[in-house]
Amino acid sequence: MNMSGRKKSILIIDDDPVYMKMVHEWLKDDFKVTMTISGGQALDWLKENKADLILLDYDLPVMPGPQILEKLRSGADTKETPVMILTGQNDRESIMRILSLCPADYLLKNIGRDELRNKVAKFLK
């Protein structure tokens, strides 16, 4: 929690409900976590709400992660919001493609609970 006692807000955008629920469980004690299953849903949510951090799945159907990231960066209210890319791909080519998008960070989906919590907490300090 920050000084004002307000929990930092994290928005997860992922089409895998099982994975999303797991991450939600890991983070919900320390952060206010909102889950959306698509870019459209996330962008709608962001019209009314603010996130301190967005965890964005790279491989989404309909609107892929890079396209969502582009929309976030072009939005007046979301261009400063840090985005961490979630990915299941850890081959060099995929990582280079992700890093070329200049996210705040990227997280492999097989990351452990403590490592994820530490990365997010350190980032939101």
In three-state secondary structure terms, 124 is helix
CATH code given to domain 9-124: 3.40.50.2300
Mean pLDDT across the chain: 93
Tell me how far CA of residue 5 lies from CA of 1, 8, 54, 59, 99, in angstroms.
6, 9, 20, 34, 33
pLDDT tens-digit readout, 7-41: 999 999 999 999 999 999 999 999 999 999 999 99
pLDDT tens-digit readout, 61-110: 999 999 999 999 999 999 999 999 999 999 999 999 999 999 999 999 99
Measured from the Cβ of residue 82, the count of other Cβ atoms closer than 10 Å reads 14
Predicted confidence at residue 6, as pLDDT, reads 83
pTM comes to 0.93
How confident is residue 125, by pLDDT bands cut at 50, 70 and 90?
Answer: confident
- Every domain of the chain and the residues it spans: 9-124
Print the SS3 string covering 102-115.
Answer: CCCEEEECCCCHHH
Which strands sit side by side in the sheet containing 83-87, from one edge to the other? 32-36, 9-13, 53-57, 83-87, 105-108
What are phi and psi for residue 73, nearest 5 degrees?
-70, -20
